[in-house]
Amino acid sequence: MSDQKEDKTLKEELEEELAKWQTKMDEAKVQLHLGAKDAQDKLQPHVDKLEQELEEAKQQWQQLEEASEKSLKDIEKGVRVSITAMKKSFENAKKHFTDEEKK
């Protein structure tokens, strides 16, 4: 149970970090547009690089979320299969127990 809490905390931290970087990127773009042409020319390559890295981070985050969802679905499916198997075993055992009592 604590792993889920830790994972959620990690997820929240990563989401917050991406949001902070998105805000910083937006602020940099505003400053870039407000600045002098000389400053714009010097900053643009850096802003472009940061924008690319932010986009890559977002894509990796999406892949992580999708992988986690798939993993959870696989785990859920496995648990459901196990529960179904346990129910069948219990019913089979129950039949034998009832048959033994009748003898």
Tens digit of pLDDT for each residue in 24-47? Answer: 888 877 877 777 777 778 778 877
pLDDT, one tens digit per residue, over 56-101 is 888 877 777 787 777 877 877 888 888 888 888 878 776 765 554 5
HEC string for 24-80: HHHHHHHHHHHCCHHHHHHHHHHHHHHHHHHHHHHHHHHHHHHHHHHHHHHHHHHHH
13 has pLDDT over 80: yes
pTM score of the predicted model: 0.55
Give the chain's domain count. 1
1 has pLDDT over 50: no
Range of the domain at 91: 2-102
Q: Pick from 7-11, 34-38, 49-53 the range whose average pLDDT is largest.
A: 49-53
